[in-house]
Amino acid sequence: MLELSNKKILVTGGAGFLGKQVVSQLVFAGANPVNIAVPRSRVCDLRILEKCQESVQGQDIVIHLAAHVGGIGLNREKPAELFYDNLIMGVQLIEAAYQAGVEKFVCVGTICAYPKFTPVPFRENDLWNGYPEETNAPYGIAKKALLVQLQSYRQQYGFNGIYLLPVNLYGPEDNFDPRSSHVIPALIHKIHQAQQQGEKQLAVWGDGSPTREFIYSTDAAMGIVMATQAYDSPEPVNLGTNTEISIKDLVNLISEIMDFRGEIVWQVEQPNGQPRRCLDTQLAEKSFGFSAQTKLAEGLKKTVQWYRQQV
**DSSP state at residue 190:** H
Interatomic CA distance for residues 178 and 158, integer angstroms: 43
What's the residue count for the chain?
A: 311
Contacts of 134 (CB under 8 A, 6+ apart): 116
Q: Choose the catalytic residue: 98, 114, 139, 307.
A: 139
Question: Beta strands of 195-252 (E only): which ranges?
Answer: 201-205, 211-212, 214-216, 237-239, 245-246
Phi/psi for 78 (5° steps) reads -135, 55
**Which amino acid, one-letter code, is at 119?**
P
Q: Give the HSE-up count for residue 225: Cα atoms under 13 Å, Cβ half-sphere.
A: 24
Which H/E stretch holds residue 237?
strand 237-239
Helix axis angle for 296-310 and 183-196, nearest 10°, is 50
Q: How many CB atoms lie within 10 A of CB 91?
A: 16
CA dist., res. 27 & res. 21, Å (int) = 10
Strand partners, 214: 168
Are 132 and 116 within 8 A, CB to CB? yes
User: Which residue type does 207 have?
Assistant: D
Neighbours of 227 (CB within 10 A): 23
What Å distances lie between residue 136 and 72, 80, 123, 172, 262, CA to CA?
7, 11, 19, 24, 31
Active site residue 157: no
**Cα–Cα distance measured from residue 189 to residue 181, given in angstroms and rounded to the nearest whole number:** 10
Return d(Cα 261, Cα 272) in angstroms, integer. Answer: 24
What positions carry a catalytic annotation?
Answer: 139
